[in-house]
Amino acid sequence: MVKRLGIAWRLWRQRPWWRKALNVATLLFALAGAAIIGAWGLYQLGVTNNGGAVDKNYRSLLAVSEIEGLKDAQLTQEQIDAEWALRYARLAALARYYPVNARLILNAAQHSDDPLAVDRMIEAAKVYMGENAELDKLGTLLCNTLQKVPQQQRGNVIPWMDGPEWPALKQAILRDSALIREAGRLSGVEPRLIVGCLVGEQIRLFNSKREMFKKYLGPVKVLSVQSQFSYGVNGIKDFTAKAVEDHLKDPTSEYYMGPAYEHLLDFETDDHVTERYNRLVDYRNHLYSYLYTGCILHQTMLQWRRAGYDISDRPDVLFTLFNVGFSQSVPKANPVPGGSHITVGDTKYTFGALGFDFYYSGELAETFPFQRERFATNQRPLTAEDVKRIQDNMSDCNRPERGLEYRRDSATATPQEKPDPFGVDHEKVTPIEHTAQ
């Protein structure tokens, strides 16, 4: 045998290279063909088939799918609310044993219009729980307790949110949501705090000049922009805006926000007065109104913290101090909320209370969520490119001439001197007296 192999090897070596290549290629093709034929044969014999199996929990899976929904049910809103209350009770019981799953199901339920979807999710989770009599007992107890209290259908518990103004204002705020979030990021402030200031000022404006402002907020759903005495959607006074800018640049100030923010409000021109006015009285882009608002909140918080009083967890006080201004921001123990009085309907509120109501109402929480830290620290300094991007947000919309509110002779004013996209003649508007920024 060995002798034959030796002879074959000598004959192989004597062959020309092209014969060797041809022999190797022929051998490879033969092996490939044998492999393909072998695989086909195994397939035909059923060797590779995976017959599968019936899931051991198939009855439970079927039961979950067979839970009927409410899509075709003719239920009143009161009945649907009652159904949701029972599902939240079941989730509360589940949370005592499997909090991770309860939290996931609750988050999913908020994106569903069918309360019984919660039942399906709970039953699907129970496939892996096995028998849990204590969980079922607790869920039944909570549901039975709720059913003893009749479901009531009432409006919003916050009176001023139960009127037609708030739904319109919400839509106007949502239009600016991207700008508000960006202003919060740049100024290191939770965007929801900025919205709280915006809500207080817009509600104040609406109810101070109801007949005029309801023409814009109601049908058009736009924010009112002030251009007399106080500027922008948040009513910031010129001297307040200048103080904000000075605080950003002064490391010795009690309001100093740190080097990361020094160039946040840098100007493009040497005419700061006009440029500041144009920033705030911008009908098309309100970013600067929100940036100044964020800085006021951040600077005020730092002033109090450096004095030994942390009000970062007191949005009511922050809204109040935004409203009354830096001059009345005096750090002290046990601060109380307040500010300008604002009458909505038959009820009188303060600016701080309106902001507080919104902040903890849960309204717009999906767009402006509660953050664990309301104020950011250790942000990176802005680059020249960052500053330029901020400055590029100013639009070229027509603005009323600055100082028009002090002009007495309206006959000398040309229409071009008092443009307004909403058709408001600023010469004929009586200035609104208030103590807002």
Q: Is residue 169 part of a domain?
A: yes
Query: 305 vs 378, which has greater pLDDT?
Result: 305
Please give the Cα distance from 435 to 165 (Å, whole number).
22
Instruction: Report how far apart, in Å, the C-alpha atoms of 19 and of each of 4, 15, 31, 32, 136 are.
Output: 20, 6, 19, 20, 81
pLDDT at site 247: 97
Weakest mean pLDDT among 214-223, 272-281, 296-305, 384-393: 214-223
More confident residue, 206 or 417: 206
Measured distance CA(58)–CA(60) in Å, rounded: 5
Confidence of residue 63 (pLDDT cuts 50, 70, 90): low
Phi, psi dihedral angles at 343 (to 5 degrees)? -95, 125
* Whether 212 and 90 share a structural domain: no
241 and 335, same domain (yes or no): yes
pLDDT-derived band of residue 413, with 50, 70 and 90 as boundaries?
A: very low
Residue 217 and residue 208: Cα distance in Å, rounded? 13
Q: Which of 95, 123, 147 is the endpoint of a domain?
A: 147
Residue at which a domain ends, from 147, 182, 212? 147
Are 122 and 186 members of one domain?
A: no
Span 47-61, average pLDDT: 50
**434, part of any domain:** no
332: left (phi over 0), alpha (psi -120 to 50) or beta: beta
Q: Identify the H or E element spanning 341.
A: strand 341-344
Identify the helix (H) or strand (E) that includes residue 343. Answer: strand 341-344
Confirm whether 49 is domain-assigned. Answer: no
pLDDT in tens, 285-325: 999 999 999 999 999 999 999 999 999 999 999 999 999 99
Among 92, 118, 147, where does a domain finish? 147
Residue 225 lies in a domain: yes
Mean predicted confidence (pLDDT) in 25-43: 71
Q: What is the pLDDT of residues 76-118, one digit of tens each?
A: 777 778 888 888 888 898 898 889 988 998 888 877 777 878 8
114 in the same domain as 211: no
Q: 138: helix, coil or strand?
A: helix
- Say yes or no: 274 and 377 in one domain: yes
Say whether 79 sits in a helix, a strand or coil.
helix
192: pLDDT strictly greater than 70 = yes
For the stretch 27-50, what's the b/e string if a residue is b when 16 or more beta carbons lie within 10 angstroms of its beta carbon?
eeeeeeeeeeeeeeeeeeeeeeee
Sorted by sequence, the CB contacts under 8 Å of residue 156 that are 6+ apart come out as 162, 166
pLDDT for residue 432:
31
Report yes or no on 348 lying in a domain. yes
Q: What is the extent of the structural domain holding 110?
A: 58-147
What are the backbone angles phi and psi of residue 399, rounded to the nearest 5°? -120, 150
Residue 72 is encoded by which pair of tokens?
Answer: 């075709």
HSE-up of residue 75 (Cα within 13 Å, Cβ side): 16
DSSP per-residue codes, 264-277: TT--SSS-HHHHHH
- Sort 230 into a burial class: Cβ within 10 Å, 0-12 / 13-18 / 19+: buried
Q: How far apart are CA 368 and CA 416, in angstroms?
A: 38
Give strand pairing partners of 226. Answer: 232
The residue-averaged pLDDT of 222-239 equals 87
Q: How confident is the model at residue 1 (pLDDT cuts 50, 70, 90)?
A: low
- Does residue 98 belong to any structural domain of this protein? yes
Looking at the fold, whether 143 and 170 belong to one and the same domain comes out as: no
pLDDT at 318: 97
Q: Does 209 reside within a domain?
A: yes
Structure tokens at 351: 């600016």
Q: Give, for 349, the enclosing helix (H) or strand (E).
A: strand 347-350
Stretch 169-178: mean pLDDT: 93
Q: What is the mean pLDDT of residues 166-172?
A: 90
Q: Indicate the range of 25-39, 141-155, 299-313, 416-430 predicted with least confidence.
A: 416-430
**pLDDT attached to residue 6:** 67
Lowest mean pLDDT among 46-50, 326-330, 408-412: 408-412
Residues 6+ apart with CB under 8 A from 198: 173, 180, 223, 233, 234, 290, 293
The answer to whether residue 436 scores a pLDDT higher than 50 is no
With cut-offs at 50, 70 and 90, classify the pLDDT of residue 426. very low
CA distance linking residue 140 with residue 9, whole number of Å: 86
**Do both 292 and 237 map to the same domain?**
yes
Tell me, what's the pLDDT at 31? Answer: 74
The answer to whether residues 240 and 394 touch, using CB atoms and an 8 Å cutoff, is: no
> Do 127 and 263 fall within a single domain?
no
Specify whether 357 is located in the same domain as 210.
Answer: yes
Residues 248 and 321 in one domain: yes
The one-letter amino acid code at 397 reads C
Residue 265: what pLDDT? Answer: 97
Residue 192: closest CA among 341, 362, 342, 325: 362
* CA–CA dist 106, 335 (Å, integer): 37
Identify the band that residue 433 occupies on the pLDDT scale cut at 50, 70 and 90: very low
What integer best gives the mean pLDDT of the chain?
80
| N-term to C-term CA, the chain | 106
Q: In the chain, what percentage of residues exceed pLDDT 70?
A: 75
- 426 within some domain: no
pLDDT at residue 69 is higher than 80 = no
Q: What are phi and psi of 264, to 5 degrees?
A: -60, -35
Q: Do 337 and 257 share a structural domain?
A: yes
Same domain, 264 and 408: yes
The total number of residues written for the chain in this structure = 437
Count of domains for the chain: 2
Model confidence band, residue 49 (pLDDT cutoffs 50, 70, 90): low
Once rounded to an integer, what is the mean pLDDT over residues 137-165? 84
